[in-house]
Amino acid sequence: MFKKAKQNRVFQDVVEQIQNAVLSGKLKPGTKLPAERELKDMFNTSRGTLREALRVLEQKGLIEIKLGVAGGTIVKQMDADPIVESLALLIRSGGISLEHLAEFRIKIEGSIVELAAQRATPEDIQEMERLFKQAKTHLENQDWENFLKTDQTMHTYIGIMSGNPIFQFVQKSIHDNIHQYYEFYLPMNHARTLENLTDFEKLIKAMKIHDTTAAANIIRDHVERFNKKMQKKT
């Protein structure tokens, strides 16, 4: 499966050969790579170069290096965890401004909601209504932390409703990490929470009748309005 690495770019070639084998399906998830000594001979490279290449592949989430007698290098099931983690760190570090976050959400989330409204099934509406009732209970109990968690679940579920795994990934990545903006710029209180809940009630009504334009406009207006509040801290 592997051949001797090009000597003018040994490290990159080792990374690319193993990466291509994983991405092409030649190496399936759960497959154990040959022992380090065998790989070193296959690639005709040093142990140090091989280990560094394997560390890079592990950071990319393509393999897992297990230590011990029963250990070895195992091909991982592909997932978006490393990308999610990188985006989460970017958001949490404050590297994304309120303006950039709002602009992104207005453009992208508006489209996601439009698709979700178009494709909403009776079961989807039932789930949204369940989450709405849950959020309403948190409002009545003045439990702002759990209200925000339910709000996060609602937004994530809209990504699922879109039927597009890329949109689902984007929606979850953003809403798993933006509540710190609320905590800093606009802590929840009864009035803000009620306004948030009212917007979702309108959104669910639009989704019920598959009014894609109304649904998209509701979420865009919601994002714009709360962004202005956060900028003014009002």
pLDDT single digits (tens) 85-139 = 666 677 666 667 888 889 989 999 999 999 999 999 999 999 999 999 999 999 9
Q: What is the pLDDT of residue 175?
A: 87
User: Which fold would CATH assign to domain 10-75?
Assistant: Arc Repressor Mutant, subunit A (1.10.10)
Average pLDDT over residues 48-58: 93
Q: Mean pLDDT over all residues of the chain? A: 89
Q: What is the pLDDT of residue 118?
A: 97
Amino acid identity of residue 60, one-letter, is: K
The closest alpha carbon to 75, from 110, 131, 33, 25, belongs to 33
The closest alpha carbon to 134, from 159, 152, 110, belongs to 152
CA 126 to chain centre: 24
Confidence of residue 84 (pLDDT cuts 50, 70, 90): low
Q: What tokens does 186 get?
A: 């606009």
**E-strand stretches of the chain:** 63-66, 72-75
Q: What is the pLDDT of residue 82?
A: 64
Q: What is the pLDDT of residue 52?
A: 93
Confidence of residue 33 (pLDDT cuts 50, 70, 90): very high
pTM for the model: 0.69
Q: What is the pLDDT of residue 233?
A: 74
Q: What is the pLDDT of residue 87?
A: 66
- Domain range summary for the chain, segments of one domain joined by +: 10-75, 81-232
Residue 106 carries which DSSP code? I
Q: What is the pLDDT of residue 83?
A: 62
Task: Encode pLDDT of 180-231 as tens digits.
Answer: 777 777 788 999 999 999 999 999 999 999 999 999 999 999 999 998 988 8
Q: What tokens does 110 get?
A: 């508006």
Q: Which CATH class is domain 81-232?
A: mainly alpha
| Lowest mean per-residue pLDDT among 4-18, 53-67, 112-126 | 4-18
Q: Crossing angle for the helix pair 36-43 and 47-59, nearest 10 degrees?
A: 110
Confidence of residue 152 (pLDDT cuts 50, 70, 90): very high
Residue 48: which residues within 8 A CB-CB, separation 6 or more?
A: none
Q: What tokens does 60 get?
A: 């990319």
The closest alpha carbon to 87, from 101, 103, 99, 98, belongs to 101
